[in-house]
Structure 1
């Protein structure tokens, strides 16, 4: 099959020139016990992909990229229940084993059993199905959707209505479940509460839509790209602010009578986290969703955190149960309450994958969708 293989991290921009993803033929073995072969029909490009390419976080190389996708089941391994050939599915990295402590607690993205193998470039049961010329090729977060086909653990797949377009469904595997889940599960935003959202990309705009559905009275979108503001207003923002404005924190505190109930950072930028903490009200919450460098540290005023009872927390893949949440969010989309299709920037083929990373790094697009079969 044709796949996008990552051999080296930290190559310089523009990526169109340095070509971190090499498009080539790769061998894929069939599914083993508990595994499923999926024909990939669409895969989303995410800032998490960009941070890996930039070398901010490490992966076992070489690997086939991509962690957000949708496709058609083509073969099921022994022991797989609930899926059969021809089913349409969303692929997600947020799935868990179902029987460890985090899974029992309703936080499948923190799964002890499946997380370690994924970090080693393997599938959840410790297997590897990719190779090239007799040499191993590793899986990306147990998904590897930048390819024409993928073998995944069955738990990473969520069956969907075949009427949902693949280029929309693909976004639910990461962007939607992460952004919407941060609002619904992690923050549990209630009617009349106020929120500020740093970063109006695919994840951030999903959080905007979720905040609107939650009944938030004030939804303040913050970004360095003002050209994102019109769509942000259409999707639910009551106000938008330029992140580079020197008085941005003061503006938020003034318009919310002392600060927001929740600030969400979708960027992974430390200055956004610091500003978010400063703009929350007493007992407000700063929720960190975006991932930056694994070695980067953020400082805060400890006395202020205590005296104001500020809550600082993370949210991984929406802080819930991926299979359950994705199914719920898909229903909201079908009912017209979650217009995720508004976030599609364009569809691309393998030939534009590296160029598309440049567009993503410049903030020129929201969600680009790779169509592996053209």
Structure 2
């Protein structure tokens, strides 16, 4: 069934702040084409406001426009393509922003989050099944963001972009599991492989960073040091499992973390996407330790590491895309951890907004105070 619905369309990047005045996201009526055999149509119940969307809006991450943003969300299936047999109308689903082809080298090696095929579709603003399903006035082609585009009332996505869930979690709240929780908790659990009793430093305390704190705690870390320039975020991290909080802009921050951890942490999680945070994470890591980074700094940015120092101290630097998660395996695990109380994700949700507040919501995110605001497309 061809649908018309409300969506937030980005038509121009790099508009000046405050964003609630420049209004980069235009609230428009769009048409969604019928799903192909491998697509599904989802009624979007909740969509999280994330820095990855903001970085497209401000031009940090280049994307062609027009495009419907939104990559962290959840909803209910309302239609399935003729070739989809394992999903049915009424299924509750969480979007995942890195679909996989199932046939490339990385997919066959059990690493679907770094599928070789998906990035090509993402950079073209298309679905992994090919092309765009979003049309504007007069048949204008509008692009998909990471194959999801959930800043809309409905989304047509490839079957591989959803994970069916049985958990009774409110679907608006479930949105955060599609990016923040997978990326942050996954970085601690899967990439850094934090072990019971180890010490951990988490840099950046947005939704991803706070999920990193929860992931480290769930692993049984003995000392978790949370670092962010924003005092309210440091306080939030202490509520959610951090044992200590440090201002990374303090000239003595590195010394303080080393003192707290008897010479440095076993694992540092760089989840801010800032090169200076990456360099500080390296500095606070103990000999033999590891640094896992899931932060995406602007293209062209580099961080400095002394080669001989890395070798002599046997430090490991690990890239972590989507928390090294296999979504169909890890999202149910993380939901189970929430159910048991081990992952109190509700504490990082600031509130719920409508389309009319979306640009203001991103301005709050850009200012640094907000953690996770949830768009409810249907009010």
Normalising by structure 1, report the TM-score: 0.98
Query: Structure 2: how far apart are the matches of 1:115 and 1:248?
Result: 37
Does structure 1 residue 53 correspond to structure 2 residue 57?
A: yes
> What number of residue pairs does the alignment pair up?
374
User: Comparing 321-330 with 160-169, which one deviates more in the overlay?
Assistant: 160-169
Partner of residue 33 from structure 1, selected from 28, 32, 37? 37
Query: Structure 2: how far apart are the matches of 1:164 and 1:324?
Result: 17
Deviations 1:51-80 (A, max 9, x none): 111111111211001001111100000111
Shift of 1:95: 2.9
Match of 1:239 in 2: 244
Query: Structure 1: how far apart are the matches of 2:8 and 2:183?
Result: 24
Once the two structures are superposed, the pairs formed by residues 156-235 of structure 1 within 5 Å of their partners are 156-161=161-166, 163-235=168-240
Query: Structure 1: how far apart are the matches of 2:288 and 2:299?
Result: 28
Deviations 1:322-349 (A, max 9, x none): 1211111111112222111111101000
Match of 1:43 in 2: 47
User: Comparing 227-236 with 244-253, which one deviates more in the overlay?
Assistant: 227-236
Query: Structure 2: how far apart are the matches of 1:176 and 1:25?
Result: 31
Shift of 1:19: 1.0
Once the two structures are superposed, the pairs formed by residues 59-98 of structure 1 within 5 Å of their partners are 59-98=63-102
Query: Structure 1: how far apart are the matches of 2:129 and 2:67?
Result: 18
Query: Does the residue aligned with 1:60 lie in a helix, a strand or coil?
Result: coil
Query: Does the residue aligned with 2:117 lie in a helix, a strand or coil?
Result: helix
Match of 1:101 in 2: 105
User: Comparing 104-113 with 22-31, which one deviates more in the overlay?
Assistant: 104-113
Does structure 1 residue 355 correspond to structure 2 residue 357?
A: no
Deviations 1:124-159 (A, max 9, x none): 011211111221101010000000000001111111
Shift of 1:229: 2.6
Structure 2 alignment gaps of length 5 or more: none
Q: Structure 1 runs of 4+ off > 6 angstroms?
A: none
Deviations 1:279-301 (A, max 9, x none): 10112111111111112122222
Once the two structures are superposed, the pairs formed by residues 258-277 of structure 1 within 5 Å of their partners are 258-277=263-282
Shift of 1:49: 0.8
Query: Structure 1: how far apart are the matches of 2:252 and 2:363?
Result: 30
Whether the aligned pair in 2 keeps the contact of 1:12 and 1:18 (CA below 8 Å) is yes
Query: Structure 1: how far apart are the matches of 2:374 and 2:184?
Result: 18
Query: Structure 2: how far apart are the matches of 1:214 and 1:331?
Result: 14
Query: Does the residue aligned with 1:112 lie in a helix, a strand or coil?
Result: coil
Query: Structure 2: how far apart are the matches of 1:320 and 1:115?
Result: 16
Root-mean-square deviation (Å): 1.1
Query: Structure 1: how far apart are the matches of 2:224 and 2:194?
Result: 11
Whether the aligned pair in 1 keeps the contact of 2:80 and 2:88 (CA below 8 Å) is yes
Query: Does the residue aligned with 1:228 lie in a helix, a strand or coil?
Result: helix
Does structure 1 residue 255 correspond to structure 2 residue 269?
A: no
User: Comparing 322-331 with 157-166, which one deviates more in the overlay?
Assistant: 157-166
Does structure 1 residue 130 correspond to structure 2 residue 134?
A: yes
Whether the aligned pair in 2 keeps the contact of 1:94 and 1:321 (CA below 8 Å) is no
Query: Structure 1: how far apart are the matches of 2:109 and 2:272?
Result: 27
Does structure 1 residue 366 correspond to structure 2 residue 375?
A: no
Whether the aligned pair in 2 keeps the contact of 1:51 and 1:292 (CA below 8 Å) is no
Structure 1 alignment gaps of length 5 or more: none
Does structure 1 residue 11 correspond to structure 2 residue 15?
A: yes
Match of 1:142 in 2: 147
Whether the aligned pair in 2 keeps the contact of 1:36 and 1:152 (CA below 8 Å) is yes
Shift of 1:161: 2.3
